[in-house]
Structure 1
Amino acid sequence: MRSQATITALALVSSASAFWRMPCRSQTGVGRLDPIMDSGEVSDHVHTIHGGNGFGFEADFDSLTAPGSCTSCEVTQDHSAYWTPTMHFMYSNGTSVMVQQIGGMLAYYLYYLDDVKAFPEGFQMVAGNKNTRNFTGPFPDTELSSWPTDPSDQFFLQQRALGFNCLNYKKDPEASLYRHQFPTKDYMDDNCADGLRLELAFPSCSNGSTDSLDHKSHMKYPSLVKEGNCPEGYDVHHPFLFYETIWATNAFAGEDGEFMLSMGDPTGTGYHGDFIMGWESEDFLQNALDTCQNESGDIQDCPLFDIQGDDVAANCTFSMPSVLDQDDVKSPRSGLPVAIPVQNGPGPATQYPVAGRESVPTSSIPSTTASASFSLPTLSYTRAEPHETSTALGGIVVNKVSIASTKTTLPPAAKFAPSSVPTPSSSESQYVAPSSITEAPSATGPEPDILATSYMTNGNTVVELVIQEVDVTVTATPSAAAKHRRHAYKHGHAAGRF
């Protein structure tokens, strides 16, 4: 059966000589771990982690590449660790749930600078600043020609290395790194029908070190974030590493509340990410950078890469430390996991006690407030075939995405008020957990009719969009936000976006 929607990007990237995109469609885990910034102890906020299963409180190159280890990425030789904060939705009564991530992570390796060198063994870096709560520039950005040619203002570049892409596959796509803070909730409800894509660009100018005291100073951005002039003393050029993750913010359309990142950031400006080099070896990665320069960006076009199926990759997870057993970071709970204050800014966020560390007993961790019948929405997808997306910067490859539910009536026991949140009065709305979500049923009967075919352009890219009709029964309990039409999609980066 044909896809319900097919999007094919036809143009190649003009400014990057070569690249590849690394799909990591499965998570190795979700939890309060950050072996770079919080080595050896519980992190102060939740991350979603992809890549090698040698991850933990003290993960490094050796643990990630240890014999017998695996990876949740598609290339078996890449056991690198890729992680970013999770996104949560906080209802007006103080109850939060983790927003569903769609399609895993896509990590781009792009060649914008000349003489690109592999990340060395032992290399690690951080992009972004978790404490930032204010974007200080204009929207949209001024033309690149007006940017300083001297990359001395790294904060200016760091802020512009974040992107929050409003997804609506019926409209022309937004450019990557277009906006640098969350759109408002109302804007997302009205315009981001297919969710929000979070984007993060890492610096690619290096001083030749594998790390630094703050885990950032050994790396700097070039003058235009992805290309341009490197600062003096940063003459080693690494690949331009770029993360994409999609979050199903559309599942909360019409709900009263706000989105925020796991460190209590409702602005998005504190978005950040971490990377530990975990390729088979520095020599292997260098060989791949020198050899695999097909403009398609498909990892299947590189003869050096061994490709594994999504089902195999999905079985690769790391062992969660026992101290985090009670965290319950996904389910409805009072406040953010775990006991994290919301800090709106515009001033920088300040440090807070971290539950589970020696100075803060684990018993201070709030227990989950959900009833046993509660289940988060499960958004399933199947991957698209490589030949269908073998164009430059094809984006996270998702062929079918569905949200479906059996027709059930929510029992009274499913209603709850968090113990640490005042119980609503009779005139207030009480949070009602949605019904259990199950995987969408398989389509049967004749193929759906094509409803529309349209073309849209962005820069040098022409995108063909074919929409077909598929009927899926969805139960909306308690609100219309739970009602979704099953849809399938693939999206492509436009040439102007990189």
Structure 2
Amino acid sequence: MKSVASLSAAVAVLSGTTNAFWRMPCHDRIGLERLDPIVDPGTASSHGHTIHGGSNFGMSTTYEDLRASDCTSCQFSDDKSAYWTPSLHFVHDGGMTEIVPQIGGMLSYYLLYGDNLKAFPEGFQMLAGDTRLRNFSGPVPDPPTSSWTADDMTQVSLGQKSLGFNCLNYNKQPEGSRYRHFLPTKEFMDENCANGIRAELMFPSCWNGKDVKSDDNKAHMRYPDMIDGGSCPEGFETRLPTLFYETIWNTFAFKDKAGQFVWSNGDPTGYGYHGDFMSGWNVDTLQSAVSTCTNPSGRVEDCPVFAGSLQTEAEQGVCKIQNVMKALSADNCSGPTDGLCGNVPVQYGPQYANPLKAGAQGGEAVITPILSSVASMPTQSYAPAHSKVVDSYGGGVSVFNVKPPVVPIAKPTPALAEAAVAAPAITPPAKAEDANPDDGIISHTTYTRDGVVYEVAIKEVINIVTVDSKRRRHAHQHRRNIGRN
């Protein structure tokens, strides 16, 4: 086994730079509620969320409220920030809906890309993703970053590429993070994703340097032109830590059951996946961590700033929302129940979804979801491949093969729609010869096997696999340095 130092050196050689980071585990959610004080302040949110972090969380939460939390579900006891995303649900053929089991809470990565990073200021909050989106405007799969055009680097395009759905199977080579920007079909997950789906979301990190929030919760922030790295747009030169959320959902628990997976905002495609962040950090503590937590392991245990204030998983797991909202007492967001929490309709697209209504009381007459047999989606196959990268770790993950969307004809039932849904346009993948073999690491990902968490740093390379055929592949490095859960 290589040491952490030698492994990090190998990764630095691949990437051309040392990208420090730490991951903040939040072992359990503090609630599954229709709460979103950023988008729907002062009222019940239009849809349910899985919420992690500081316990003093409600309809009108402020920075001061989070700092006054009795506890946090995150490992560092003074990280009182709030992290939340939509929850994933399974809608059975008859319309009965239940939560998909969530595995291990949430991992929030603090990636320290860029120079002169500043801590999130007091009162800072932001949003990533678009809850109403039901399509993807770019080529599938993503071309290599060396081939990106101006169209790839618009804020709209970068935002769409900032999310991903990683098919987990710990008996196979792992998929790279943010390769697939949509939720796979249930048939694909039944066949390939024995350990579930990991939902991933990258937040923008370029700040205008003055506003801690904005009317749309996005205008004060921008993505750098490579999403996680690269250059910031003019007027947004101040770099903040790059947040990256990971949540794992046990979709395999519904293997061979008739129905469909749907996010709590009524999105069966995944294109409308999104996340919210409200800082609850002591600013001086976070600034010290940004400057000090550069151990390549990414473990909070390996940063002196967090020493003496780390919680066990059991301590994290008992933290829950302090004050349950009476207005939401009739909600049943976990199910089983008819329909989605908040009476949310399922909207397929590819057109932009209708806005959802905030403020509805729980217990109202529910909408039984009308499901087509499957959301109309492209197919990106699980295709791990051998790599010729010269190192002792070896292995590789290929760019996925893409097939056109397929909408099978369903047997007529009361819960199935009669008409098929129009398919989004698919752009052919970029040619392998367009790739740049000197590109650096393009993403990080993690997976667990035999109780050990591995980190994967992924780099694009080109391999000629036959005399007359080329395929673009991804080399990856494994870090087995995190310890047992």
Q: Name the structure 2 match of 1:335.
A: 339
Cα separation, 1, equivalents of 2:447 and 2:202: 28
Deviation at 1:313, TM superposition (A): 1.6
Cα distance in 2 for residues equivalent to 1:491 and 1:321: 39
Alpha-carbon distance between aligned partners in 2 of 1:324 and 1:423, rounded to the nearest angstrom: 27
Aligned to 2:284: 283
CA 1:211–1:334 in 2, change beyond 3 Å: closer, same or farther? Answer: same
**Could you report, residue by residue, the CA deviation over 1:440-491 in whole angstroms, capped at 9, with x for unpaired residues?**
xxxxxxxxxxxxxxxxxx9999999987xxxxxxxxxxxxxxxxxxxx5634
Is 1:38 paired with 2:1? Answer: no
Tell me how far 1:312 sits from its aligned partner.
1.4
Query: Aligned in 2, Cα 1:423/1:61: closer, same or farther, shift over 3 Å?
Result: closer
TM-score normalised by length of structure 2: 0.73
Alignment match, 1:345: 349
Please give the per-residue CA displacement for 1:267-310, whole angstroms capped at 9, x wherever unaligned. 0000000001101x211111111112111111011111121111
* Residue 145 in structure 1 maps to residue 146 in structure 2: yes
Matched, 1:492 2:455: yes
Structure 2 vs 1, CA of residues 151 and 92 (structure 1 numbering), >3 Å: closer, same or farther? closer
Residue 134 of structure 1: aligned partner:
135
CA distance in 1, matches of 2:120, 2:442: 32
Q: Compute the RMSD of aligned alpha carbons.
A: 2.9
Are 2:317 and 1:314 aligned?
A: yes
Distance 1:158 1:76, change over 3 A: same
Which 10-residue stretch deviates more, 227-236 or 303-312?
A: 303-312
Distance (Å, rounded) in 2 between the aligned partners of 1:110 and 1:17: 7
Q: In the alignment, what sits opposite 1:388? A: none
Query: What is the CA–CA distance in structure 2 between the aligned matches of 1:333 and 1:107, rounded to whole Å?
Result: 30
Corresponding residue of 1:411? none
Q: Cα deviation per residue 1:402-440 (whole Å; 9 max; x = unaligned)? A: xxxxxxxxxxxxxxxxxxx9699xxxxxxxxxxxxxxxx
- Name the CA shift for 1:466/1:85 in 2 (closer, same or farther; >3 Å): closer
Q: Is the 8 A contact 2:28 2:105 kept in 1?
A: yes
1:266 and 1:117, CA in 2 relative to 1: closer, same or farther beyond 3 A? same
What is aligned with 1:261?
Answer: 263
**CA–CA distance in 1 between the matches of 2:100 and 2:111?**
29
Describe how 1:55-204 pairs up with structure 2 within 5 A.
55-66=57-68, 69-148=70-149, 153-204=154-205
Does the 8 Å contact 2:153/2:226 carry over to 1?
Answer: no
Deviations 1:128-178 (A, max 9, x none): 000000112222210101113698611100010001000011111000001
Q: Assess, with a 3 A threshold, how the Cα gap between structure 1 residues 89 and 462 changes in structure 2: closer, same or farther.
A: closer
Shift, 1:55, TM fit: 0.7
Whether the aligned pair in 2 keeps the contact of 1:150 and 1:229 (CA below 8 Å) is: no
Instruction: State the distance in 1 between where 2:442 and 2:216 align.
Output: 38
Give CA deviations for 1:173-205 in whole Å, capped at 9, x if unaligned: 000001000111111111111100000000000
SS at match of 1:158: helix
1:18 CA drift (Å):
0.8
Check 1:361–1:187 CA distance in 2 against 1; reply closer, same or farther (3 A cut): closer
Letter in 2 for 1:32: R
Distance (Å, rounded) in 2 between the aligned partners of 1:154 and 1:463:
26
**Is 1:150–1:231's contact at 8 Å kept on the other side of the alignment?**
no
Contact (CA 8 Å) 1:128, 1:272: kept in 2 or not? yes
Q: Which has the higher contact order (CA 8 A, sep 6+)?
A: 1
The residue number in structure 1 matching 2:384 is none
* Residues 48 and 114 (structure 1), Cα distance of their counterparts in 2 relative to 1, 3 Å cut: same
Query: Which sits farther off after the overlay, 138-147 or 39-48?
Result: 138-147
Distance 2:95 2:169 in 1: 29
The 2-side partners of 1:463 and 1:337 are apart by 31
Contact 1:124-1:275 within 8 A present in 2 as well: yes
Range moving further from structure 2, 144-153 or 338-347:
144-153
**C-alpha spacing 1:309/1:138, structure 2 compared with 1 (3 Å):** same
**How far off its partner does 1:27 sit?**
0.9
Mapped to 2, the partners of 1:105 and 1:461 lie a distance apart of 16
For 2:166 and 2:87, the matched residues in 1 are separated by 16
Q: Which moved more, 1:266-275 or 1:282-291?
A: 282-291
Are 2:15 and 1:28 aligned?
A: no
- Deviation readout 1:48-80 (Å, 9 max, x if unpaired): 0000011110112100002x6211100012100
Distance between the aligned counterparts of 1:338 and 1:234, measured in 2?
Answer: 37
- Superimposed CA distance per residue, residues 205-260 of structure 1 (whole angstroms, 9 cap, x where no aligned partner): 00012111111110000111101111110010001100000000011111111111
Alpha-carbon separation, structure 2, partners of 1:344 and 1:333: 21
Q: Secondary structure at the match of 2:314?
A: helix
Deviation at 1:352, TM superposition (A): 3.7
Residue equivalent to 1:326: 330
Question: How far has the Cα of 1:366 moved from its partner?
Answer: 4.2
Q: Mind listing any 5+ residue stretches in structure 2 that lack a counterpart?
A: 369-412, 417-440, 460-475, 478-485
Q: Any idea what SS the aligned residue of 1:243 has? A: strand
* Alignment correspondent of 1:270: 272
**Does the aligned pair in 1 maintain the 2:165–2:180 contact within 8 Å?**
yes
CA distance in 2, matches of 1:103, 1:466: 14
Instruction: Go from structure 1 to structure 2 and tell me whether the alpha carbon gap of 1:270 and 1:300 turns closer, same or farther (over 3 Å shift).
Output: same
Displacement of 1:333 after TM fit? Answer: 1.2
Question: In structure 1, how many angstroms separate the alpha carbons of the residues matched to 2:59 and 2:444?
Answer: 43
Amino acid at match of 2:138: G
Q: 1:459 to 1:55 in 2, by over 3 A?
A: closer
Residues 465 and 242 (structure 1 numbering): CA distance in 2 closer, same or farther, change over 3 Å? closer
Equivalent residue number for residue 225 of structure 2:
223
Of residues 240, 243, 266 in structure 1, which corresponds to 2:242? 240
Percent sequence identity over matched residues? Answer: 48
Are the equivalent residues in 1 in contact too, given 2:174–2:447 (CA < 8 A)? no
Residues 291 and 150 (structure 1 numbering): CA distance in 2 closer, same or farther, change over 3 Å? farther
